[in-house]
Chains A and B, each alone.
Chain A
Amino acid sequence: MTPGGALIMTDHFRVLIIDLGSGKSRVEQVDGRRQVAGGSGLAAQLFSMYGKPETDWDDPAQPFILAIGPLTGKFPLMSKTVCSFKSSYHNQYTESHAGGRSALALFFAGYDALMVVGRADSLCCVSIGSRHVSIKEAGFMQGMNVAGSGKLIRRMFPKSSGHRSILRIGPAGEIGSAMACINVDSYRHFGRMGGGAAMGSKNLKGLVINGDGHFSAPSGKEYQAVFKKVYAQVSSTEMMRKYYHLGTAVNLQGLNDIRALPWYNLQKTSDPAIETITGEVFADKTLLRNGACSGCPVGCIHLGFFRDKFKEDARYLYHQVPYDYEPIFAAGTMLGVTNCFDILRILEDLERVGLDAMSAGVALAWATEATEQGLVSEKETIVRLSFGDATAYQEAAWHLGLGSNDFYRLLGNGSLKAAAVYGGSEFACVLGQEMAGYATGELFFAAQSLGFRHSHLDTGAYSWEQKNSDKDVSGAVDFLMHDEPGRTFLTSMVACLFARSVYNNEQLAECLSAAGYDALADNSDVVGEHIRKLRWQVRISTGFKPEEIVIPKRFYQVETLKGAVDGSYLDQVKEEYGRRIMALAAVKSDTGPDEVDSKVDRSADQDSRK
């Protein structure tokens, strides 16, 4: 995969490796396309080759990996990048996914993956493209917020606006906060699990990926025909409407209606105050415009605005803030903030300091309840925290991101870490990491707690729970186990998961075949299962133990859409899910790499004749 020529569907990946310790770079060919496809699979394979399971997350030798898939740049909504690293949150292997332009930029630059190892002597910015690797010292950016960093990076690397992707971190990443995100192209993020700290530990403040190369399109009529069919599905039908109309914010009303929306640190799951912060209200009052990831005509990015009067005369400033369901839950309902503009103000401050909105909002909700219960005071929180006080949360966002004192530095590493010192672990809303906004019931609580990314998108538990009311432990866990490989295969392509209804197995096979990857097209089930297992094996090698993950009491006390939580059922589901994950990773099954090889040999032969 070298820019400027034909795409050759070889079995190897082209990986750019940058060593910030030495300042040297190299391009390596890594085998394994037929076994791990790309994206999630490639990231796990690279970590298994280069990662250090036994050493800490901030060991300079740990790799920071960005990986794309075999369909990136070739089909619509194949627009995401997988970022993998050893997490500062739990010191284990993890992944985070982001849209924006990074996926296509990396593809057009000619790489399947970018891996950064080593630590620069001082803060730096890196620019790569199809014909360059440049490392610039950037000590002058120390402590600089995300918005300011973006402006400076554009001046430092002035070419190709719109044809590049810019990743950068804020102060939170520089101090190693486990809630530090990576901002991607201003409005997207590698949000969860401390990706910003992984960059910060390498003294890497910004990364510019120039998509300045090109490839010949797959030959033949099949590719163009399949593209046309998929494009028609994503742009001309109602299939994607919920993502571009009100966006995911439409879920606020729906989840509140079924008592599944966390409020006030999950003390409630429904509240009449929802009427001021529904998806409709955000669209009517705050929506400024929409944006899109490159290669996606859906345009699901919703940019809201707020303006502030900064002088008594009519002098105003304004900010554009991306919003979605999850950030509104975290900076809104969890904190009892019910003014849409106030929510955007909090999100803007979290953005600037470089914190993941979901993690930070949930952590501040814990700190607020801890304040109410007298476990902490302004001695720790600096500003008095109380539900609904948006101004206080804006100030607290900066303290959390900057690590202003011991309390905030501890809280930035997780609510349960702070609770271990100050008390209040029973109401820390942590499911593996700070919870996602779905109080749908026992299965979701167990699934997020043990899920690979601790993401609501690891499995469809929240959706299954809304359709099934029985308490069948075996059936529920069977669903989780069967659901995961397909999602893993999709995140190895790397598709936006909003498109999972479009990219079913048959459609993926058609796309892969049209792009010249017959071996993958014929073996998606086997490869998906193999990648799922590989990811868990890598995670387990870095210390994952399901029995060590505790679900706080709050989740046993809350009322969800199905009524009071059945604690016994929750424990059984969690235990069984953990057992099945460990069994899956431990057993030498018939889905190992050798078996995948033998199953795809025939297809590989067909590839070579193309």
Chain B
Amino acid sequence: MKLLTTPRMDRCIGCHSCSLACARLIHKNLSWSTSGIRIHSSGGLSTGFVAVLCLGCDPAPCVAACPTGAFSQRQGGGVIVRKKLCIRCGECVKACPVDAVYQAHDGDVFVCLHCGRCVDFCPHNCLELRGTDDARRSFDND
């Protein structure tokens, strides 16, 4: 199993192409936020950008917090999401220690599925799908 990693975020130019691609292709949305990966400025634009995404916990605290089984453990880290089971309670959002789960105003939740569809949209190769053994050490700027 592979995980989406962000090993070269120091190259990020803040174009949002990755998060827009995730929203558009995976969640069929136009949005900065309803996406598995979200790009935020860090301390104002002048100091660059950070990517907020699922770090592939195993076991994942969001899975433990989910009361309906909408979130289940993904082999190798991360979660499998079954939207039909989600009651929009937001417990997963509260459980995530790195704010990787986004809850929209209508209650719908969004988290990275580690599918890698965003990777090719980054113009500077900031993102990479890596095997879980590699991924543990390469979430940012290695």
Given A163-B32, A290-B13, A291-B13, check contact A214 B45 (CB 8 Å): no
Q: How far is the CA of A215 from the CA of B104 in the complex (A)?
A: 11
Q: How far is the CA of A294 from the CA of B15 in the complex (A)?
A: 4
Interface 1/0s, chain B 119-133, versus A by CB < 8 A? 001011000000000
- List residues of chain A with CB within 8 A of the CB of B38: 162-163
Task: Indicate if the CB atoms of B15 and A215 lie closer than 8 Å.
Answer: no
Q: How far is the CA of A227 from the CA of B42 in the complex (A)?
A: 29
12 contacts between A and B (CB under 8 A): A104-B16, A108-B33, A151-B44, A154-B44, A162-B32, A187-B45, A215-B29, A215-B30, A224-B25, A235-B123, A295-B17, A299-B124
Q: How far is the CA of A290 from the CA of B10 in the complex (A)?
A: 11
Does A212 count as interface, using CB distance less than 8 angstroms?
A: yes
A positions within 8 Å CB-CB of B:
3-4, 7, 73-74, 76, 104, 107-108, 130-131, 150-151, 154, 161-163, 185-187, 211-217, 219, 224, 227, 231, 235, 289-299, 301, 320
Q: How far is the CA of A297 from the CA of B39 in the complex (A)?
A: 14
Chain B residue nearest to A303 in the complex (CB): B46
Task: Indicate if the CB atoms of A217 and B28 lie closer than 8 Å.
Answer: yes
Q: A4-B105, A131-B105 are in contact. List 18 more A-B contacts (CB 8 A).
A: A7-B30, A107-B30, A162-B38, A163-B40, A212-B105, A213-B105, A214-B29, A216-B30, A217-B29, A224-B25, A227-B24, A289-B13, A289-B48, A294-B32, A295-B17, A297-B17, A299-B13, A320-B46
Q: How far is the CA of A108 from the CA of B29 in the complex (A)?
A: 11
Q: How far is the CA of A7 from the CA of B40 in the complex (A)?
A: 25
Q: How far is the CA of A224 from the CA of B29 in the complex (A)?
A: 11
- List residues of chain B with CB within 8 A of the CB of A104: 16, 32
Task: Indicate if the CB atoms of A297 and B29 lie closer than 8 Å.
Answer: no
Task: Indicate if the CB atoms of A294 and B33 lie closer than 8 Å.
Answer: no
Task: Indicate if the CB atoms of B30 and A4 lie closer than 8 Å.
Answer: no
Task: Indicate if the CB atoms of B24 and A217 lie closer than 8 Å.
Answer: yes
Task: Indicate if the CB atoms of B45 and A186 lie closer than 8 Å.
Answer: yes
Q: How far is the CA of A224 from the CA of B105 in the complex (A)?
A: 25
- Which residues of B from 42 to 94 have beta carbons under 8 Å from A? 42, 44-46, 48-49
Task: Indicate if the CB atoms of B15 and A296 lie closer than 8 Å.
Answer: yes
Q: How far is the CA of A290 from the CA of B126 in the complex (A)?
A: 14
Does B116 count as interface, using CB distance less than 8 angstroms?
A: no
Q: How far is the CA of A464 from the CA of B133 in the complex (A)?
A: 58
Task: Indicate if the CB atoms of A294 and B24 lie closer than 8 Å.
Answer: no
Task: Indicate if the CB atoms of A162 and B41 lie closer than 8 Å.
Answer: yes
Task: Indicate if the CB atoms of A291 and B45 lie closer than 8 Å.
Answer: yes
Minimum CB–CB distance from B44 to chain A (whole Å) comes to 6
Which among B24, B39, B42 has the greatest number of chain A C-beta atoms within 10 A?
B24
Instruction: Give the contacting residue for B104; candidates A214, A227, A296; CB below 8 A.
Output: A214
Q: How far is the CA of A265 from the CA of B29 in the complex (A)?
A: 51
- List residues of chain B with CB within 8 A of the CB of A290: 13
Does B142 count as interface, using CB distance less than 8 angstroms?
A: no
Task: Indicate if the CB atoms of B123 and A217 lie closer than 8 Å.
Answer: no
Task: Indicate if the CB atoms of A231 and B121 lie closer than 8 Å.
Answer: yes
Instruction: Give the contacting residue for A130; candidates B14, B41, B105, B124; CB below 8 A.
Output: B105
Does B5 count as interface, using CB distance less than 8 angstroms?
A: no
Give me the 9 closest cross-chain CB pairs, A-B, nearest first.
A214-B31, A162-B40, A292-B15, A162-B41, A299-B13, A297-B123, A292-B13, A214-B34, A215-B30
Minimum CB–CB distance from B84 to chain A (whole Å) comes to 18
Q: How far is the CA of A1 from the CA of B27 in the complex (A)?
A: 19
- List residues of chain B with CB within 8 A of the CB of A297: 15, 17, 121, 123
Q: How far is the CA of A404 from the CA of B48 in the complex (A)?
A: 36
Task: Indicate if the CB atoms of B13 and A74 lie closer than 8 Å.
Answer: no
- List residues of chain A with CB within 8 A of the CB of B105: 3-4, 130-131, 212-213
Instruction: Give the contacting residue for B44; candidates A150, A214, A215, A292; CB below 8 A.
Output: A150
Task: Indicate if the CB atoms of A214 and B49 lie closer than 8 Å.
Answer: no
Minimum CB–CB distance from B111 to chain A (whole Å) comes to 15
Q: How far is the CA of A595 from the CA of B45 in the complex (A)?
A: 47
Does B23 count as interface, using CB distance less than 8 angstroms?
A: yes
Task: Indicate if the CB atoms of B15 and A293 lie closer than 8 Å.
Answer: yes
Does B20 count as interface, using CB distance less than 8 angstroms?
A: yes
Task: Indicate if the CB atoms of A214 and B23 lie closer than 8 Å.
Answer: yes
Given A186-B46, A235-B123, check contact A216 B28 (CB 8 Å): yes
Q: How far is the CA of A151 from the CA of B23 in the complex (A)?
A: 30
Minimum CB–CB distance from B16 to chain A (whole Å) comes to 5
Instruction: Give the contacting residue for A211; candidates B25, B32, B48; CB below 8 A.
Output: B32
Task: Indicate if the CB atoms of B31 and A108 lie closer than 8 Å.
Answer: yes
Task: Indicate if the CB atoms of B20 and A162 lie closer than 8 Å.
Answer: no
Which among B31, B33, B40, B121 has the greatest number of chain A C-beta atoms within 10 A?
B31
- List residues of chain B with CB within 8 A of the CB of A235: 123
Q: How far is the CA of A151 from the CA of B41 in the complex (A)?
A: 13
Q: How far is the CA of A163 from the CA of B45 in the complex (A)?
A: 11
Minimum CB–CB distance from A305 to chain B (whole Å) comes to 10
Which among A3, A104, A227, A297 has the greatest number of chain B C-beta atoms within 10 A?
A297
Q: How far is the CA of A292 from the CA of B31 in the complex (A)?
A: 17
Chain B residue nearest to A74 in the complex (CB): B30
Instruction: Give the contacting residue for B16; candidates A161, A216, A289, A294; CB below 8 A.
Output: A294
Given A4-B105, A295-B15, check contact A162 B39 (CB 8 Å): yes
Task: Indicate if the CB atoms of A73 and B13 lie closer than 8 Å.
Answer: no
Minimum CB–CB distance from B3 to chain A (whole Å) comes to 23
- List residues of chain A with CB within 8 A of the CB of B30: 7, 73-74, 107-108, 214-217
- List residues of chain A with CB within 8 A of the CB of B24: 217, 224, 227
Minimum CB–CB distance from A105 to chain B (whole Å) comes to 8
Q: How far is the CA of A163 from the CA of B16 in the complex (A)?
A: 10
Minimum CB–CB distance from A227 to chain B (whole Å) comes to 7
Q: How far is the CA of A26 from the CA of B62 in the complex (A)?
A: 40
Chain B residue nearest to A131 in the complex (CB): B105
Minimum CB–CB distance from A224 to chain B (whole Å) comes to 7
Q: How far is the CA of A298 from the CA of B23 in the complex (A)?
A: 20
